[in-house]
Structures are given as C-alpha cells and as structure tokens.
C-alpha cells in the first residue's frame, strides 16, 4: 500500500502537469473502482480548471475552479501516468506498477495536451467529488488526525495528543484519528531514529504538567525527518531515473530497521540485532539494545 511519502511524491509529480490546466475531456472505462463514481462524474469534471493539487493524509485533493474538489485515493495498487511528449509515472517507489491498459480506469485529457491516466489493477482506490467547502465533513476525511508534515506538528503537539496515554508508542502513533497517514514502516523508522522502544507508553511524551519531554522532541524531529527523506528520495527518482523510453526507474527506498529482522543494528557502536514482533497485528521492527 502506498505510504504518505509516496502519495506526496505522486502529488509533486502531477502538480506541474495539472495545476492551471483545464480538463477538456474525461474518459471512464468502467462505472466504479472501489466504489461507484459519483453521479455525472464526467460532466462535472469536464471544463474545470485545476486550481491547486493538495494532499491530506493519503488523499490527493484536486481543487477545481468551479468550487468542487476531486478526491483520489490510490488504494493498494493505484498509480497515475502522464502521457505528454514523454510518459512518466510519478511516485514510482518500490513496487512494479501496472502498465496494462486494461487497468486504465480513468483518463483526464487536459487542454495543455497531457493525458493523466489512473491505473489500478486491484481496484482498492477510489475517486469522489465534493463541494470544496464541505471537504472537512467528507466521511473519509472528517475523522483524520494531525498532518505529520504540517508546520505546527511538533513536540508540544505530540505531548498534547498523548499525555496520559498508556497505549504503546507503536500503536499510539498508528492511530489515524491522532496522526493521519503515518504508516507502519515510518513509525518503526521514526521510533528507531528517536531511540524509543515501541513498547513504552505514549504518555512518556508529556510530563505531569503536560509539558513535552525530551522524548517528544526527539520523536517529533524523527517523524518529520523520516518522511521528508523518503519524499526527497522518491522525488529524486522523478528527476534522475527517467530512461529513454520515458518510464521512471523503480526505486528501492532503504529502510533502516523495517523488514531487517536479524540484521546488525545500524547505529554506530550498538551491538544489537534488529528484532521483529507482531504488535496489534502489524510487524514491529526495532533494536532492543538502543531503543529504550
Ligand atoms: Zn541498536
């Protein structure tokens, strides 16, 4: 499943091709993806100019100048392709993307000559259209917690979110109602970077007066760093890995602890070995020696 950095990379890849352009024509190859397309989907999109392309958690938000917003979620296997002078696939991370045209479900023909196609073999993705002012009330968006890359997401915010919580840090950070879009991989990576055990109660992020602790400061910094580094790495595939046929090279992001059970701890001078355990149904990877 695409994680937040991947979705952000897709957003940054689509932005220059789409923002400012008008949707000239919409092709729908089927009536649904995960859910049926909203009523009059084609007609409501056609003729609209894309004013901005934003992201909330793992949702892409195409803001249209007519006052509606197109919401898109990539599900398990969704991807966008831009056909212009050269074909590019923004946000190709570590999965082989389908190039099979039978999985092309939606094609947006733009007045700048580009065609943006949505491909999704497993069809867990979806698209919806909503009045922009009602975005916060959309059932998929209304319950979402803090955006971890927002400027105001810091140690104080972590302390406020988790003061008094007895939930283990790992489970607390995965709670989408508190922090939105931070997936299993990046929680493992951030806890390693902050030297925090995934089993410590989340309440350690605030002292008795609710003031953020050093752990909160380290964790806020680590969360931002692991996400930004992954976005940077994903973005570099857009710039550097374009081959002659216009396809982007597939990118293997190097995770430090995730999926590295049995490897020596990468922290200098630590003699630990990366361990794995199932925590609330998800694999947790951590170093039992240096994560306290
Ligand atoms: Zn270690």
pLDDT digits (tens, 9 = 90+) for 218-265: 999 999 999 998 888 776 554 443 332 333 333 446 789 998 999 999
- For residue 251, what pLDDT is reported? 45
Q: Which of 105-114, 154-163, 187-196 has the lowest mean pLDDT?
A: 105-114
280 or 41: which leads in pLDDT: 41
Question: Of the segments 73-77, 79-83, 188-192, which one has the largest average pLDDT value?
Answer: 188-192
Query: Mean of the pLDDT values across residues 139-163?
Result: 96
- For residue 243, what pLDDT is reported? 30
- For residue 250, what pLDDT is reported? 36
Distance 275 CA to ligand 1 centre (A): 10
Angle at 119 between CA 116 and CA 122, to 5 degrees: 160
Distance 219 CA to ligand 1 centre (A): 16
Distance 194 CA to ligand 1 centre (A): 11
Mean model confidence pLDDT for the chain: 88
Distance 192 CA to ligand 1 centre (A): 8
- For residue 76, what pLDDT is reported? 84
List the shell of residues around ion ligand 1, using CB closer than 5 Å. 265, 267, 270, 272, 287, 289-290
Residue 85: pLDDT over 70: no
Q: 0.85 cut: is pTM over it?
A: yes
Distance 150 CA to ligand 1 centre (A): 29
CB of 172 closer than 8 Å to CB of 202: yes
Q: How far apart are the first and last CA of the chain?
A: 29
Active site amino acids: 2-3, 58, 282
Chain segment 31-50, per-residue pLDDT in tens: 999 999 999 999 999 999 99
Distance 63 CA to ligand 1 centre (A): 45
Say how many C-beta atoms besides its own lie within 10 A of residue 275's C-beta: 17
- For residue 6, what pLDDT is reported? 84
> Confidence class of residue 64 from pLDDT cuts 50, 70 and 90?
very high
- For residue 247, what pLDDT is reported? 34
Query: Mean of the pLDDT values across residues 102-131?
Result: 92
Residue 166: pLDDT over 60: yes
């Amino acid at each position: 499943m695409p994680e937040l950095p991947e979705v952000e990379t897709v957003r940054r890849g689509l932005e220059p091709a789409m923002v400012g352009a008008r949707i000239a024509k919409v092709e729908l190859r089927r009536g649904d993806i995960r859910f049926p397309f909203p009523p009059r989907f084609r007609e409501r999109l056609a003729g609209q100019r894309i004013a901005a392309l934003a992201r909330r958690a793992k949702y892409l938000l195409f803001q249209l100048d007519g006052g509606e917003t197109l919401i898109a979620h990539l599900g398990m296997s969704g991807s966008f392709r831009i056909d212009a002078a050269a074909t590019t696939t923004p946000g190709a991370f570590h999965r082989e993307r389908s190039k099979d045209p039978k999985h092309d479900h939606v094609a947006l023909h733009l007045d700048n000559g580009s065609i943006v196609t949505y491909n999704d073999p497993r069809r867990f993705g979806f698209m919806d259209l909503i009045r922009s002012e009602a975005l916060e009330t959309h059932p998929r968006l209304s319950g979402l917690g803090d955006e971890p890359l927002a400027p105001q997401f810091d140690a104080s915010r972590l302390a406020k979110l988790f003061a008094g919580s007895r939930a283990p840090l790992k489970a607390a950070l995965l709670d989408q109602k508190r922090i939105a879009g931070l997936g299993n991989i990046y929680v493992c990576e951030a806890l390693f970077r902050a030297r925090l055990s995934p089993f410590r109660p989340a309440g350690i992020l605030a002292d008795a007066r609710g003031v953020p602790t050093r752990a909160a400061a380290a964790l806020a910094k680590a969360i931002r760093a692991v996400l930004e580094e992954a976005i940077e790495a994903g973005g570099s595939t857009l710039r550097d890995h374009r081959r002659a046929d216009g396809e982007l090279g597939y990118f293997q992001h190097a995770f430090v602890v995730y999926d590295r059970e049995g490897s020596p701890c990468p922290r200098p001078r630590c003699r630990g070995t990366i361990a794995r355990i199932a925590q609330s149904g998800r694999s947790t990877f951590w170093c039992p020696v240096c994560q306290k």
